[in-house]
């Protein structure tokens, strides 16, 4: 096995939120084909309990504790240095020394950086001779533009600045590295338009879903009160796009729906609910659970899953997991961008509050087609298998064709 350096902006475990789901499955795949040297940050003290589990997949590792408040202060230096603030946020001298030592040893032949800011550790002269791949996942510069559109001055101006400087950095990295990957064909195509000078290096590999774990055939205890139909939203509830989505849905969509369905409840299921999310629990029919030990019962027993995201990049795991559970998902166009589901036959699309109300009313009055949920699960089984999708990454990292497939346990 060759030695590979894997850098991630957050410890790749537990796989309970979007970036960790992807980074964990990438690590698991890499460990079957390389001697992995992992460097990453830990921004949640609770995640230190998973260090040994992650170490078991690596030959060497470096974990850097990151205090989010201190990192935010450090990011301000980007305003004075003319660079994206995301870079100093994830800059650490100890991690850079560890990387430099590994590169100086001469044993590292390949490197994968997970998320754009981690590429800064691989821009020294020593790294030039290596085979370097960057998994941008999403076009983060475009995400900051979306944020800017939802904020007032001065935040809107600050976010536009971040988008501009981050895109410049993303373009440079894509030109320097041997390959750049994204989470979907749509994200890759967007970046090819934004960085045409590197378009020949740009590819993608989709996320997967553990379709056996997220299976409608597994018995789940009902967590909901009897006789109350439930709409469910799942996700990390300190993440701004999720916060914005549930605020909008709870205030714009739920009140008209409850006039027609007085017992209807909207469950917001996810870790670390922000204060704005917790405040929604004061509204009639809105329940904020906080962290739950298992999200599957909440999906299994909901009448419908909703994904009313208005700010979104890449692929929404919440949509994939609900589809795997054979649920009818009512989603915004932004929430299904990058997902290969066919609108109308595998997922229901609603573009504004009026369409959400109309579609949900139709489905809640018993006009739902069970075949839609069944078709959604078939789509997951066809297009969202981790082992198949990660073969694309293996090829980009230079594994020979006969070796790219994940070893059978």
Q: What is the pLDDT of residue 363?
A: 95
For residue 300, which of 275, 269, 271, 279 has the smallest C-alpha distance? 269
- Residue 153: C-alpha distances to residues 156, 157, 160, 161, 265 (Å): 5, 6, 11, 12, 35
Q: Which two tokens stand for residue 50?
A: 């998973």
Burial status of residue 60 (CB atoms within 10 A of its CB: 0-12, 13-18, 19 or more): middle
Q: What is the mean pLDDT of each run of 10 residues along the chain (409 residues)?
A: 96 92 97 97 95 97 95 93 95 96 93 97 85 96 92 93 97 96 95 96 95 90 92 95 97 97 97 96 97 95 96 90 96 94 96 97 84 95 95 92 55
**For strand 131-137 and strand 108-114, is the pairing parallel, antiparallel, or unpaired?**
parallel
Q: State the Cα–Cα distance between residues 160 and 362, nearest whole angstrom.
A: 40
Q: What is the pLDDT of residue 405?
A: 59
80-87, long-range: CB < 8 A, 24+ apart: 82/165, 83/165, 83/169, 84/162, 84/165, 84/166, 84/168, 84/169, 85/162, 85/165, 86/116, 86/117, 86/140, 86/162, 86/166, 87/117, 87/120, 87/169
Which helix (H) or strand (E) segment holds residue 37: the answer is: strand 34-42
Q: State the Cα–Cα distance between residues 350 and 336, nearest whole angstrom.
A: 11
Where in the chain are the domains?
2-208+385-403, 230-383
CATH tag, 2-208+385-403: 3.40.50.2000
- Identify whether the C-beta of residue 180 lies closer than 8 Å to the C-beta of residue 202: yes
Taken in order 63, 67, 72, 74, is the CA torsion positive or negative?
Answer: negative
2-208+385-403 and 230-383: identical CATH topology: yes
pTM of the model: 0.90
CATH 3.40.50.2000 fits 230-383, yes or no: yes
- Identify whether the C-beta of residue 330 lies closer than 8 Å to the C-beta of residue 355: no
Name residue 286's beta-bridge partners.
Answer: 266
pLDDT tens-digit profile of 78-91?
999 999 999 999 99
């Amino acid at each position: 096995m060759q030695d590979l350096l894997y850098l991630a902006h957050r410890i790749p475990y537990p796989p309970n939120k979007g970036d960790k789901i992807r980074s964990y499955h990438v690590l698991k795949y890499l460990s079957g084909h390389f001697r992995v040297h992992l460097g990453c940050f830990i921004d949640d003290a609770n995640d230190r309990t998973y260090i040994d589990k992650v170490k078991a997949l690596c030959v060497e590792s470096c974990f850097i504790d990151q205090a989010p408040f201190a990192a935010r202060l450090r990011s301000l230096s980007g305003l004075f240095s003319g660079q994206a603030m995301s870079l100093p946020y994830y800059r650490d001298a100890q991690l850079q020394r560890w990387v430099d030592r590994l590169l100086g040893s001469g044993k590292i032949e390949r490197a994968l950086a997970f998320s754009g800011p981690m590429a800064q550790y691989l821009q020294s002269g020593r790294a030039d001779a290596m085979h370097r791949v960057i998994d941008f996942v999403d076009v983060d510069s475009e995400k900051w533009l979306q944020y800017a559109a939802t904020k007032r001055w001065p935040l809107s101006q600050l976010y536009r600045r971040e988008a501009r400087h981050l895109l410049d950095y993303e373009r440079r990295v894509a030109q320097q590295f041997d390959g750049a990957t994204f989470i979907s064909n749509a994200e890759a195509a967007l970046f090819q338009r934004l960085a045409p000078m590197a378009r020949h290096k740009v590819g993608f590999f989709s996320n997967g879903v553990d379709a056996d774990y997220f299976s409608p055939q597994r018995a789940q205890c009902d967590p909901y009160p009897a006789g109350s139909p439930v709409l469910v939203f799942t996700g990390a509830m300190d993440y701004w796009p999720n916060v914005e989505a549930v605020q909008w849905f709870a205030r714009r969509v739920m009140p008209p729906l409850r006039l027609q369905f007085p017992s209807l409840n909207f469950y917001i299921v996810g870790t670390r609910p922000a204060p704005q999310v917790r405040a929604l629990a004061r509204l009639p029919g809105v329940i904020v659970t906080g962290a739950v030990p298992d999200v599957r019962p909440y999906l299994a027993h909901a009448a419908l899953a909703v994904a009313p995201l208005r700010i979104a990049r890449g692929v929404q795991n919440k949509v994939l997991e609900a589809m795997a559970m054979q649920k009818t998902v009512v989603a915004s166009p932004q929430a299904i961008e990058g997902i290969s589901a066919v609108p109308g036959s595998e997922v229901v699309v609603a573009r504004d509050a009026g369409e959400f109300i109309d579609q949900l009313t139709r489905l809640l009055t018993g006009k739902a087609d069970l075949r839609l949920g069944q078709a959604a699960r078939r789509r997951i089984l066809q297009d969202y298998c981790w082992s198949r999708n990660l073969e694309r990454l293996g090829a980009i990292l230079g594994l020979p064709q006969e070796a790219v497939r994940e070893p059978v346990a």
